[in-house]
């Protein structure tokens, strides 16, 4: 049987389809002042906010969920779901009082039962959660009323308040998860945050809708779409073409270009992330003179100017300016002459250089490989011949575990809390997998500080440790890292010291 389509109908259909497809596509701005689209470099790993410690995902989690405590833009701890808290002098317990006006997006009231479930019951049930690690000192959470509870620890937990506002610490709904199951929660997550998750497409987009029952200040923009754009060039193109209203982590040179365009605001913001050289205590770096010479030979200000437009602050300790562990009056100076002198004491010179291995990632953080190449050139000038090799970030831990990292490795470390335990405490802890520096002297100093409950004593201890570690060449802090932001000039946000760009702070003018 022959089936004849009328030629005119076919042509009309083709013309119609072509016209539709070639019609102007809706840009981000078309949605008006009640909506915004943000180009974001990474997706969330899961909608269980307790599950994975992923720094990039925290601003998205903070839109949908709430943390017990929060940080202000200067990173000072402030009340949030917890109204008041009191850490016992011995660090073995912490009494908390929760707000009584908080509801989850499904209407359920948030109480201490949810708090206990999140930070104790889920972990004890054996669920594979990253917060099991940060909450491992929690022995129990004793509920006194729907708003009052006491956290009990098996050993002093002086940084528990900081952890209440850090990675993975988001209160999840006990009844909703227990009655509907975890899979249901992962598909339809329910939090107490300023936005509800309206739509999610893996590796593509996250659509957030303002939660009108939110206990805190209402978000100015009703609908925020997080468009996942992993490629930095594509993010540049997306903001340039108007397909997104705002984006982060674009190359520094592009920020400088956007800054000239009156339609855009472009910023390079220093954040609580340090770029450092992790070093070994053996091989060619067994010689303290060589380590110190390597550090004195690096012109950090030149690196900042060349690769971060001068916005990355040169560092002398493993802490960023404004955080408790930072030491204002301590500078490890750039002094190539002193570097040469130290090397000469150990029998090395530019004609007889000391040979070391040097590892760096390429693309793990902005300009990492370029920084490494510049350091190799600086070292060459004083008599250090570095063999630069590129490693994948994923290989770092395996190489370190097997003692296969070279003398120096370029590394980046993020610490949104700014607390020194999570800077030098973690980086120099011989029991943790980060630093290749394995040394009893510094190791014991670090481990001793983990049990100090008194805040002032603890901070003073870390400041001493940081200076001591740098003066002995156990670590080489380089720069305070930066986050780049490009946005339409009419879209503003609240700038945080740790680089967060929170959807709830976005606002059109």
Partner 1 sequence: MIATVTKLIARRLLAAIPILLIVSALLFCVLRALPVDPAAMSLPPNATIDEIEAKRRDMGLDRPLPEQYAIWLRGALHGDFGQSIQFRRQSGSLVAATLPATIELALAAMVLAGLLGFGGGLLLFRLRGTILEPVADLASILLLSIPEFLWALILLFVFGVALRALPFTGEVAPGLPLPHITGFLLIDSLLVGRFDVFVSACQHLILPAVALGLAFSPTIMRVLRSSLFDVYHEEYIAQARLRGLSERKILIGHALKNAALPTLTLAGVQFSILFSGTLLVEVIYSYPGMGNLMIDAVRNADLPLIQAIGLTYCVAVLLINSVVDSFYVVLNPKLRVR
Name residues contacting partner 1, limited to 109-138 (CB under 8 A). Answer: 128, 130, 133-134
CB of 109 to partner 1, least distance (A): 29
45 lies in the binding site for partner 1 (CB under 8 A): yes
Site track 49-68 with partner 1 (rule: CB under 8 A), x = hit = --xxx---------------
Q: Residues binding partner 1: what is the number (CB under 8 A)?
A: 65
CB of 422 to partner 1, least distance (A): 8
199 lies in the binding site for partner 1 (CB under 8 A): yes
Interface pick for partner 1 out of 125, 203, 260, 351 (rule CB under 8 A): 203
Question: Taking the C-alpha atoms of 496, 499, 505 and 509 in order, what is their torsion angle to the nearest 10 degrees?
Answer: 100
Residues across the chain? 509
3-state SS assignment for residue 108: coil
399 lies in the binding site for partner 1 (CB under 8 A): yes
Phi, psi at residue 477, to the nearest 5°?
A: -65, 140
CB nearer partner 1, residue 262 or residue 402: 402
In angstroms, the Cα distances linking 109 to 61, 100, 312 are: 19, 8, 44
**Residue 133 DSSP label:** H
Site track 316-355 with partner 1 (rule: CB under 8 A), x = hit = ----------------------------------------
22 lies in the binding site for partner 1 (CB under 8 A): yes
CB nearer partner 1, residue 65 or residue 379: 65
| Residue 336 tokens, joined | 């190539």
d(CA 385, CA 152) in angstroms, rounded, equals 53
d(CA 254, CA 233) in angstroms, rounded, equals 9
204 lies in the binding site for partner 1 (CB under 8 A): yes
3-state SS assignment for residue 357: strand
46 lies in the binding site for partner 1 (CB under 8 A): yes
Residue 119 · residue 135 · CB < 8 Å = yes
Query: Minimal CA–CA distance to 262: which of 490, 484, 415?
Result: 490
For residues 73-87, b (16+ Cβ closer than 10 Å) or e, as one string?
A: eebebeebbbeebeb
Residue 233 · residue 47 · CB < 8 Å = no
CB of 343 to partner 1, least distance (A): 32
Which among 32-40, 114-122, 293-301, 488-496 is the span making contact with partner 1, rule CB under 8 A? Answer: 32-40
261 lies in the binding site for partner 1 (CB under 8 A): no
3-state SS assignment for residue 368: helix
Residues that bind partner 1 (CB under 8 A): 20-23, 25-28, 31, 35, 37, 39, 43, 45-46, 48, 51-53, 128, 130, 133-134, 167-168, 186, 199, 201-205, 207, 223, 225, 227-231, 233-234, 237-238, 240-244, 392-395, 397-399, 401-402, 404, 422, 426, 431-434
């Amino acid at each position: 049987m022959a089936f004849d389509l009328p030629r005119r109908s076919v042509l009309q259909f083709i013309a119609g389809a072509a016209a539709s497809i070639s019609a102007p596509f809706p840009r981000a701005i078309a949605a008006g002042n009640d909506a915004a689209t943000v180009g974001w470099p990474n997706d969330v790993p899961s909608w269980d906010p307790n599950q994975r410690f992923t720094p990039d995902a925290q601003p998205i989690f903070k839109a949908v969920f709430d943390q017990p405590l929060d940080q202000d833009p200067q990173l000072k701890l402030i009340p949030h779901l917890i109204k008041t808290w009191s850490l016992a002098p011995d660090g073995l317990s912490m009494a908390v009082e929760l707000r009584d006006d908080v509801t989850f997006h499904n209407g359920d009231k948030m109480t201490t039962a949810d708090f206990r479930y999140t930070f104790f019951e889920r972990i004890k049930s054996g669920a594979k959660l990253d917060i099991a690690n940060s909450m491992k000192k929690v022995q129990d959470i004793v509920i006194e009323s729907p708003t009052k509870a006491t956290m009990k620890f098996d050993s002093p937990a002086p940084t528990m308040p900081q952890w209440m506002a850090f990675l993975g610490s988001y209160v999840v709904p006990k009844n909703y998860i227990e009655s509907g199951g975890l899979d249901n929660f992962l598909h339809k997550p329910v939090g107490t945050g300023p936005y509800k998750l309206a739509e999610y497409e893996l590796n593509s987009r996250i659509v957030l809708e303002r939660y009108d029952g939110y206990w805190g200040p209402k978000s100015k923009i009703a609908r925020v779409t997080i468009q996942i754009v992993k490629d930095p060039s594509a993010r540049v193109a997306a903001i340039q073409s108007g397909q997104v209203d705002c984006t982060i982590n674009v190359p520094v040179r592009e920020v400088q270009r956007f800054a000239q365009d009156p339609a855009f605001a472009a910023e390079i913001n220093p954040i609580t992330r340090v770029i450092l050289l992790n070093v070994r205590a053996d091989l060619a770096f067994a010689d303290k003179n060589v380590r110190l010479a390597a550090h004195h030979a690096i012109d950090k200000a030149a690196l900042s100017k060349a690769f971060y437009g001068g916005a990355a602050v040169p560092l002398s300790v493993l802490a960023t300016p404004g955080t408790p562990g930072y030491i204002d009056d301590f500078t490890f100076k750039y002094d190539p002459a002193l570097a040469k002198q130290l090397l000469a004491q150990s029998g090395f010179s530019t004609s007889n250089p000391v040979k070391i291995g040097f590892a760096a990632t390429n693309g793990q953080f902005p300009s990492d490989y370029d920084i490494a190449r510049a350091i190799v050139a600086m070292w060459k000038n004083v008599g250090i011949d570095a063999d630069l090799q590129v490693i994948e970030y994923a290989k770092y831990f395996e190489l370190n575990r097997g003692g296969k990292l070279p003398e120096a490795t370029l590394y980046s470390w993020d610490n949104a809390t700014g607390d020194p335990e999570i800077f030098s405490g973690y980086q120099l802890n011989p029991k943790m997998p980060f630093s290749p520096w394995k040394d009893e002297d510094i190791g014991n100093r670090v481990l001793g500080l983990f049990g100090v409950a008194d805040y002032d004593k603890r901070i003073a201890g870390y400041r001493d440790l940081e200076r001591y570690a740098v003066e002995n060449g156990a670590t080489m802090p380089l720069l305070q890292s930066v986050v780049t932001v490009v946005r339409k000039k009419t879209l503003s946000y609240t700038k945080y010291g740790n680089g967060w760009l929170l959807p709830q702070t976005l606002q059109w003018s």
